[in-house]
Chain A
């Protein structure tokens, strides 16, 4: 997908001005996943859930510590069970591999269940350009495919759309009378999708995890589309990141308990589909040909570096569900595949720090994300490290750097600092006038455009304290 992350500020600005989007985001914030998660954690037992988070982080770290060995094990086991395991270094390479599979099997139509990696790679565009029709079958993904948009949330891709907007889309694309009842709309989409399920010759799925010990892939869905995509067409391609390989099914059991509770507050998703090899003799269903495409696309660059902990991510979306910034501007503002705190770490890591300068700064560091992350990724710490890397590589604006250095320099010189703050307190206090507030502050219009700046009391604590001590003595 094209990267627009350099324009976060402008995109956030237009998101704030979009009344429909703001209404949709308010609804998401009020009744959304955060609340469901809180209930699920309470039901599970808060202390027990904390232990589970610790276990989840340890499982992910153990897998990542010797990822190369687990990938080889996965390749061996999957191959032994009749699947073909392919590797791609970049998204573009992954697209080429899929297109080659399409040519080999004469594919005309591909049905897809959710895959964020295919968004990274721009797979739908590549398929369409090669004459293969891609059809998204996750309802949210289907909606944004009709709209020609990118997902705004990693598990609820169309969360930025209102019911009315979806009704308009369906009416325009399904050529049926416009419906506004959600049940009816869903049934209509289901009927349309059913035709695609039956006529597709390729199923493309993502993979929540790959299991090294059995050579299996796994998808977690609520709509059952994942199961149809992975069993109905005669060819199935599972495309996912190399970091998704975990050692055992038992590891998966623990991660699944974390994943669904953290994502939607469900104890378990409606469907958990495990696929191991193509259809065997005597199997009643399943694809005849099965491929796994493991994609790097920047992941190995994170191994052994400051951002390694980010590779633990199990893509639940809890960080964005709890992020004050995400909840205010929505996912499209972030400008690439992954929004919210995890996106603010992943985007610069995958597409380059210089191509996403704003993202590490587009956070209040409130640590809501850090305390809900099911695998204890210290997201605020990672954002802070990215900020440090920007400074080290001199990627920040000159004025910002000078101001920062000045502050640090003066704060290390107490007498100069005392003088500077004495004058600042007086000056700002005078600016505050009788109302004790400043409505316009030169150099800080970012603050005062939509907020007053309360005026200081006029003298510094330092001066008042010294005087009080002097008169007491």
Chain B
């Protein structure tokens, strides 16, 4: 199974270890992982800010880079959701490209969704001593239905105990450029998320998106919490920490 890894711009820039964890997991599931070297960004920042032209150009670029892959997997519900649920909207007036985009969309998956529902990964390589709580990222949850998949996989990590927090499906307040434009509102929303994480008593919060990760970790540390770890689900599953 030839799988194209869409690394995502934030993993590339901020936490490359997540990209390597994703490769490890995909290979453990028997996939041949292909990483197109020219990939950059899925275009979501432009799309969500009203810059449709640049979003469309980047979508066309992603299409060309990944069109020969059997599947496309991203360690992010936000980027996978952008491709799968929003790319078609960008090509409504171009029937030829729209057809290609729709065939691509059907093959795009968020990492845990792919591992559970397509690759059928049986045993996970990672181990984790301690309790974790899981934050459902908005795009993964509400655009792609990622809910059960990460929990099913985490349940197979030896030593890991999952403790659900209150309102785990509540937005962390990131929202892309929202976090900078309305920094005080964003931080106040993040603060409630941090309180819920702390109240769960878990030693780490695990999640599937870099945006939420930076937001939650940044707010946890600023409010003086130095103990709760913020981990990407791929890192935990792959044992790459």
Assess whether B219 is in contact with A364, with CB atoms less than 8 Å apart: no
Among B12, B45, B47, B50, contact of A421 (Cβ-Cβ < 8 Å): B12
- Bound-complex Cα distance A364 to B176 (A): 7
Known: A12-B185, A446-B181, A460-B16. Is A451-B54 also a contact (CB below 8 A)? no
B101-145 near A? 1/0 per residue, CB < 8 Å: 000000000000000000000000000000000000011001100
- The answer, among B58, B190, B217, for a CB contact under 8 Å with A412, is B58
Additional 15 contacts, C-beta under 8 A, given A387-B49, A411-B41: A324-B173, A324-B189, A328-B173, A365-B138, A365-B176, A366-B171, A367-B139, A367-B142, A367-B143, A384-B48, A404-B49, A408-B51, A409-B54, A456-B14, A462-B12
Within 8 Å of chain B (Cβ to Cβ): is A310?
no
- Asked if B1 is at the interface of the complex by the 8 Å CB criterion, the answer is no
Chain B residue at smallest Cβ distance from A387 = B50
- Indicate if the CB atoms of B13 and A421 lie closer than 8 Å: yes
Interface: B46 (CB within 8 A): yes
Q: How far is the CA of A466 from the CA of B177 in the complex (A)?
A: 30
Q: By the criterion CB–CB under 8 Å, are B138 and A452 in contact? A: no
> Is there contact, CB below 8 Å, between A412 and B51?
no
Q: How far is the CB of B237 from chain A (nearest CB, A)?
A: 18
Asked if B215 and A388 make an inter-chain contact with CB atoms under 8 angstroms apart, the answer reads: no
Cα distance A215–B11 in the bound complex, in angstroms: 60
> Pick the contact of A460 from B13, B188, B217 — CB < 8 Å?
B13
B177 neighbours in A (Cβ, 8 Å):
361
User: Which 8 interchain pairs have the tightest Cβ spacing?
Assistant: A408-B54, A364-B175, A446-B183, A387-B50, A461-B16, A366-B171, A450-B187, A391-B50
How far, in whole Å, are A330 and B79 apart by their CA atoms in the complex?
30
Contacts of A400 in B (CB 8 A): 49
Q: Say whether B174 contacts A364, CB under 8 Å.
A: yes
User: Contacts A446-B180, A462-B12; is A408 near B35 (CB within 8 Å)?
Assistant: no
Shortest C-beta distance, B88 to chain A (Å), equals 12
Does B46 contact A408, Cβ atoms closer than 8 Å? yes
Interface residues of A in 418-455 (CB under 8 A from B): 421, 424-425, 437, 444-447, 449-454
- Mark contacts of A399-421 with chain B using CB atoms, 8 A cut-off: 1 yes-contact digit, 0 otherwise: 01000110111011010010001
Q: Is B156 in contact with chain A by the CB < 8 A criterion?
A: no
Picked from A329, A417, A450, A452, the residue with its CB within 8 Å of the CB of B40 is A417
Measured between alpha carbons, how far is A214 from B105 in the docked complex, in Å? 48
Residue numbers in B under 8 Å from A408 (CB-CB): 43, 46, 51, 53-55, 57-58
Q: Which residue of A lies closest to B179 (CB)?
A: A447
Q: 1/0 per residue A322-340: CB within 8 Å of B?
A: 0011001100000000000
Name, among A324, A329, A389, the residue most crowded by chain B CB atoms within 10 Å (CB to CB): A324
Interface CB pairs A-B, < 8 A, 21: A328-B188, A328-B192, A362-B178, A363-B175, A366-B175, A371-B142, A407-B54, A412-B54, A421-B9, A437-B218, A447-B179, A447-B180, A449-B187, A451-B215, A457-B16, A461-B7, A462-B12, A462-B37, A464-B16, A464-B20, A465-B19
Verify A384–B47 contact, CB threshold 8 A: yes
Q: What separation, in Å, do the CA atoms of A414 and B51 have in the docked complex? A: 20
- We find that the number of chain A residues with CB closer than 8 angstroms to chain B is 59
For the complex, is A13 an interface residue (Cβ under 8 Å from B)? yes
Out of A13, A370, A389, A424, name the residue touching B50 (CB < 8 Å).
Answer: A389
Which chain A residues lie closer than 8 Å to B186 at the CB level?
364, 446
Chain B's interface size range is 35 or more
A404→B188 contact, CB < 8 A? no
* Whole-angstrom CA separation of A449 from B179 in the bound complex: 11
Residues 363-382 of chain A: 1 if any B CB is under 8 Å from the residue's CB, otherwise 0?
Answer: 11111101100000000000
A396 at the interface (CB under 8 A from B): yes
Contact at B189–A325, with CB atoms within 8 Å?
yes
Query: Chain A: which residue is nearest B178 at the CB level?
Result: A364
Q: Which listed residue, A13, A362, A366, A444, touches B180 by the CB 8 Å rule? A: A444
Chain B residue contacts of A450, Cβ below 8 A? 183-184, 187-188, 219, 222
Tell me, rounded to whole Å, the shortest Cβ–Cβ distance linking A261 to chain B: 19
Give residues of chain B (189-224) contacting chain A, Cβ–Cβ below 8 Å. 189-190, 192, 213-215, 217-219, 221-222
Whether, in the assembled complex, A69 has its beta carbon less than 8 Å from a beta carbon of chain B, the answer is no
Given contact pairs A450-B219, A452-B218, A362 touches B12 in the complex (Cβ within 8 A): no
CB-CB < 8 A to B7: which residues of A? 461-462
Q: Are A449 and B46 in contact (CB under 8 A)?
A: no
A residues near B20, Cβ cutoff 8 Å: 461, 464-465
Give Cα A226 to B239, complex, Å.
Answer: 62
- A254 in contact (CB, < 8 A): no
Closest to B220 in A: A452
Residue A302 CB within 8 A of the other chain: no
Q: Which residue of B lies closest to A370 (CB)?
A: B142
Min CB gap B212→A, angstroms: 10
Contacts of A367 in B (CB 8 A): 138-139, 142-143
* Cα distance A330–B149 in the bound complex, in angstroms: 35
Q: How far is the CA of A366 from the CA of B118 in the complex (A)?
A: 26
**Inter-chain contacts of A461 with B (CB < 8 A):** 7, 11-12, 16, 19-20
Which single residue of chain A is at the shortest CB-CB distance from B45? Answer: A407
Does B187 contact A451, Cβ atoms closer than 8 Å? Answer: yes
A449 to B185, CA, bound (A): 11
Which residues from A are CB-within-8-Å of B184?
12-13, 16, 449-450
Q: Can you name the residue of chain A whose Cβ is closest to the Cβ of B10?
A: A456
- Please name all residues of chain B whose beta carbon is closer than 8 Å to the beta carbon of A328 when the two chains form the complex: 173, 185, 188-189, 192
Report the minimum CB–CB distance from B130 to chain A (whole Å).
20
Q: Using Cβ atoms and an 8 Å threshold, which residues of chain A touch B55?
A: 408
Q: Of residues 21 to 58 in B, which have CB atoms within 8 Å of A's CB atoms?
A: 35, 37-41, 43, 45-55, 57-58
A134 and B176 alpha carbons, distance in the complex (Å): 45
Contact B46 A456 (CB under 8 A): no
Residues of B within 8 A of A453 (CB): 214, 218
Asked if A174 is an interface residue, CB under 8 A from chain B, the answer is: no
Q: Does A9 contact B (CB under 8 A)?
A: yes
B46 touches A407 (CB 8 A): yes
Taking the nearest CB of chain A, how far is it from the CB of B186, in angstroms? Answer: 8
- Chain A, Cβ-Cβ closest to B182: A362
A84 within 8 A of B: no
B17 at interface by CB-CB < 8 Å = yes
